[in-house]
Each structure stands twice: as structure tokens, then as C-alpha cells.
A and B are shown apart, each in its own frame.
Chain A
């Protein structure tokens, strides 16, 4: 019970803090506006449903953008503001401290989804027609949790690097490209498709698309999101344990 409280309180606290960060809010607001606009001008003549899916894709791009920009450097941020040692020394398991941070970073991407939908509705008059509202409502937190868990893995795996923030950023454009967001996977070289299956945005987007268009079952995609979340958490916890052991042995927790 105390652990659940830590997770929920941490999630709420970091969500509110990130919502007041000009940089993070810019990323989540600008991404859908920019990419929905690009999609509109590039796919002129496309029907309303394709613009609706493009708006959703732009929203997922926003979620992924905040995750790569901030998630990878989440622990570096705690180190920079001088509380990393306090967090590690506290009796709460360290993963329970880090996970709400990375999930909150992805969760502010919910603004991206909302802005993308409002934007295409108001500016381009696209009707927001969702075939399966229940699956859509479940797919959003499932996608956010999976992407946030991937952010947790990034934060844990890259913590030893001074340039973790930039290393995380490396994944922004490639994952946008291979996850079937604005670009169908069929256009890409065949070998990229299995690579895309490893990344949560692929399944999050599939779930949202299927729930919106009713072209397939979103529940399978939601299940894969859940599975990936667990896999990322296990891998991330393992990396985090290695990092903490090494940092304690070498007394380098405050250093990079």
C-alpha cells in the first residue's frame, strides 16, 4: 500500500511540475500542431478519417518526443538539482521513485493528443468519430504507460552517460519514422518492421488507430502495450540495480 501511494503521489506531483515547464509544454503543444499541419498540406485531398488518424499520430509523436527529450535524462536532472543521493538513500525502492517521473513525462503527452484532436476539428473541420470509445479510452493510458516504461528503461540504461539527454534524443526521429505514425510501415525497408515491434509507440498507435477506425482489434495491441511495459520495467530495474551497485562501490553517485 505505501508503495502504491508513492507511485501515485509521485506521478501526480511530477505531472503537475512538468505541466508548468515551458520547455516540456512547448514540446507537447508544438508537436501535434506542426505535424498535423505538415500532414494536412502534404496529404491535401485526404479524407477526414485520415486527418483524424494523422492528428492522433501527431499526438503520439508528442508523447514520444517528451519521453526522448526528458525521460532519458530524468536521473541526470535529479543529480543536477542535488537530490539524487537523498532519493537513493531513502527507504523507498529507487525504481518506485524513478518510474513515476518517467511515466509523468510521457503522461503530459496527453495534452498532445487533446491538442491534435481539437486542432484538426477547429481548423480543418474534421469530425471526431471514434468507433470504439471504450477501447480508445483504455488505449490512451496503455500507450502512455508503455512509452513511460520505455522512458524508465532509457533513464536507467543511460544514467552513466553525461550526454544521456542527447542520447535519448537520438531515438526521436527514427522511432517516429518506423512506428507507423505518419509513415506506413509498408513504405519502409522490410528489415525495419521487426525493429519497430520493440518500441511502444508502434503498438500504442496501432491501438488508437484500430479503436478509431474499427479496422482491427485494438485489444491485442493494448495487450502488447501491457506486455512491453512489464518487459521494459524488468530490464530497466535490472539496469538501475547495476548502476546503483556500481555507483555505491565507486562513490560516483554524484558524478557522471
Chain B
């Protein structure tokens, strides 16, 4: 019961408080508007390069929009604790680490879904992308799974926050890697072999591919393997993230380096 409370209520409160989203204005200028301006930038860049149509960039960037709250939101669950000087208290508490950090990842997942749906919906209207009615439910599933996968890599980013202070740097680096490698803005066929191979193990790659095919009229059955691949990638990152949190916490205890990281 305690773990369930930590997972749900603890996750909700810490996520909201640590990110300072106590009013909707901050939320809008941090996430809602930048996700759209970033998407518009790449749509116009794509038009300049004549590499793919608008739908390619709209789907890719709407899906990767889920990564921003996941990467930075999750990193903030550690960096915010350090800033408010409560990280040591968290580490000495007997609470289950899985419940605490997985609980903190749930609001990030929901938030990723909200941002992604918002970005896709507004961009579809702005750039005249037709989304077939039968694709809506499968798209919602794809977005939810991609958001979960992004939170997986966000958990990993949070664990790095126990070891390195500059979580914003690491979060930006991971986001940039997704923008280049995950087939969001450059079709995988235009990337060198090693980059497109690496992309198979990154969040968003399979989700963006599935979303593009759904918008083009494919059925859920057709893209199910892609959605399953995205879920698998996400699960692997969640396991890696929770493991590295335990590892770095142990290291910090051993070396008394929690506050000097």
C-alpha cells in the first residue's frame, strides 16, 4: 500500500512541484509552444531540402515532442531534489526506489502523451495533414507507447543526475541524438548504415515510423510490430534506468559524493 501511494501520489506531487508548473502559463511557454515552433522549423527545412513531405516531419516531430518532458522532467526529479537540498533525505529514506522513480515517471508519460497529441493535432491543422478517422485510436496507442519509451530514456537521464550535476546538458544531448538518429527529420535511408542500425535501439524510431504509416492509411495490424518494437525499446530503457539509479546511488553512498556530483 505504501509503495502504491509512493507510486501514484508521490509521483504526481513531486513531478508538479519539482518542475514549478504551478501555473499554466509556464507550462505553455515551456512545452506547448516550443513543440510547435520546433515542428514548424523542420517542416520548412524539409520543404527546402525536398527530402520528404510535410506529413513525414509532422509525424516525426509530434512523436519526438514526447521526449522533451520525459528527458528533462525525469532529470529534474533528481536535479530538483539536489537544488532544494532534499536529495540526501530521499536517498536515506527507506522508500522503494522502484516505487519512487517509476512513480515519478508516470506523470512524465502522461505529460508526454498530452504534448504529443497537442503537437500532432495543431500541426495537422496548420499544415493540412489529413489523418484518417480509423487511424486515431491506433495513433493514440502509438503515442502512448512512444511516450513510455521516452520516459525510459528519461529514467536513464535521471540516473545520470546522481553522477553528474549537468543534467540539462545530458538531456539536450540525448534530445539532439534523437533528432538526428531516430529518423525524425532525416529518413533512415539517408543515414549511414551504422547510424540507421543504432536508430533501431532508440526511442521514437519505431513509433514515428508507425505514426507515418497510420497517417498514410495503414491499419493497426500492419504497424503492430513497430509499436511492439517501440514498447520493447522503452522497457529495456526503463530497466537500464532503474538499474543505473541503484548503481549510482550505491556509488554515491560509498564515495559520499551525492552532493558533490
| A, B from the same assembly | yes
A229 at the binding interface (Cβ < 8 Å): no
In contact, B26 and A42 (Cβ under 8 angstroms): no
Q: Pick the contact of A34 from B41, B45, B166, B176 — CB < 8 Å?
A: B176
In contact, B185 and A38 (Cβ under 8 angstroms): yes
Minimum C-beta distance from B68 to chain A (A): 11
In contact, A34 and B179 (Cβ under 8 angstroms): yes
B38 at the binding interface (Cβ < 8 Å): yes
Q: Which residues of B contact A190 (CB under 8 A)?
A: none
B136 at the binding interface (Cβ < 8 Å): no
Q: Pick the contact of A42 from B37, B51, B176 — CB < 8 Å?
A: B51
Minimum C-beta distance from B225 to chain A (A): 26
Stretch from B28-36, B96-104, B248-256 forming part of the interface with A: B28-36
Measured between alpha carbons, how far is A199 from B38 in the docked complex, in Å? 18
A170 at the binding interface (Cβ < 8 Å): yes
Q: Pick the contact of B30 from A41, A166, A182 — CB < 8 Å?
A: A166
In contact, A22 and B169 (Cβ under 8 angstroms): yes
Minimum C-beta distance from A68 to chain B (A): 11
Measured between alpha carbons, how far is A22 from B37 in the docked complex, in Å? 26
In contact, A177 and B40 (Cβ under 8 angstroms): yes
In contact, B169 and A177 (Cβ under 8 angstroms): no
Query: Beyond A26-B169, A30-B173, A42-B49, is A183–B41 a contact (Cβ under 8 Å)?
Result: yes
B2 at the binding interface (Cβ < 8 Å): no
Q: Pick the contact of B29 from A23, A38, A166, A184 — CB < 8 Å?
A: A166
Measured between alpha carbons, how far is A22 from B169 in the docked complex, in Å? 7
Measured between alpha carbons, how far is A41 from B176 in the docked complex, in Å? 15
Minimum C-beta distance from A130 to chain B (A): 24
Measured between alpha carbons, how far is A27 from B186 in the docked complex, in Å? 22
In contact, A23 and B168 (Cβ under 8 angstroms): yes
Q: Which residues of B contact A188 (CB under 8 A)?
A: 44
- Chain B 68-107 interface mask (CB, 8 Å, partner A; 1/0): 0000000000000000000000000000000000000000
What is the interface residue range for chain B against chain A? 20 to 34
Query: Beyond A163-B29, A177-B40, A183-B45, is A41–B190 a contact (Cβ under 8 Å)?
Result: yes
In the complex, the chain B residue whose C-beta lies closest to that of A22 is: B166
Query: Beyond A26-B172, A26-B173, A177-B41, is A34–B180 a contact (Cβ under 8 Å)?
Result: yes
Q: In chain A between 20 and 58, which residues have their CB closer than 8 angstroms to a CB of chain B? A: 22-23, 26-27, 30, 34, 37-38, 41-44
In the complex, the chain B residue whose C-beta lies closest to that of A167 is: B29
In contact, A38 and B173 (Cβ under 8 angstroms): no
Q: In chain A between 145 and 192, which residues have their CB closer than 8 angstroms to a CB of chain B? A: 163, 166-167, 169-170, 172-174, 176-177, 182-184, 187-188
In contact, B179 and A38 (Cβ under 8 angstroms): yes
A-B contact count (CB 8 A): 76
Q: Which residues of B contact A172 (CB under 8 A)?
A: 34, 37
In contact, B176 and A30 (Cβ under 8 angstroms): yes
Query: Beyond A38-B179, A41-B191, is A173–B48 a contact (Cβ under 8 Å)?
Result: no
Q: Which residues of B contact A173 (CB under 8 A)?
A: 34, 37-38, 40-41
Measured between alpha carbons, how far is A42 from B38 in the docked complex, in Å? 17
Measured between alpha carbons, how far is A41 from B49 in the docked complex, in Å? 10
Minimum C-beta distance from B27 to chain A (A): 10
- Chain B 222-235 interface mask (CB, 8 Å, partner A; 1/0): 00000000000000
Minimum C-beta distance from B83 to chain A (A): 11
Q: Which residues of B contact A166 (CB under 8 A)?
A: 26, 29-30
Q: Which residues of A contact B38 (CB under 8 A)?
A: 173
Q: In chain B between 163 and 216, which residues have their CB closer than 8 angstroms to a CB of chain A? A: 166, 168-169, 172-173, 176, 179-180, 185-186, 190-191
Q: In chain B between 13 and 72, which residues have their CB closer than 8 angstroms to a CB of chain A? A: 25-26, 29-30, 33-34, 37-38, 40-41, 44-49, 51
* 21 A-B pairs whose Cβ atoms sit less than 8 Å apart in the complex: A23-B166, A23-B168, A26-B169, A26-B173, A30-B172, A34-B179, A38-B179, A38-B186, A42-B51, A43-B49, A44-B190, A167-B29, A169-B34, A172-B34, A173-B34, A173-B40, A174-B37, A177-B40, A183-B41, A184-B48, A187-B47
9 further A-B contacts with Cβ under 8 Å, apart from A23-B166, A166-B26, A183-B45, are A26-B166, A37-B180, A38-B179, A42-B46, A163-B26, A170-B29, A170-B34, A173-B41, A174-B41
Q: Which residues of B contact A (CB under 8 A)?
A: 25-26, 29-30, 33-34, 37-38, 40-41, 44-49, 51, 166, 168-169, 172-173, 176, 179-180, 185-186, 190-191
Closest 7 CB pairs of A and B: A173-B37, A42-B49, A26-B169, A41-B186, A177-B41, A34-B176, A22-B166
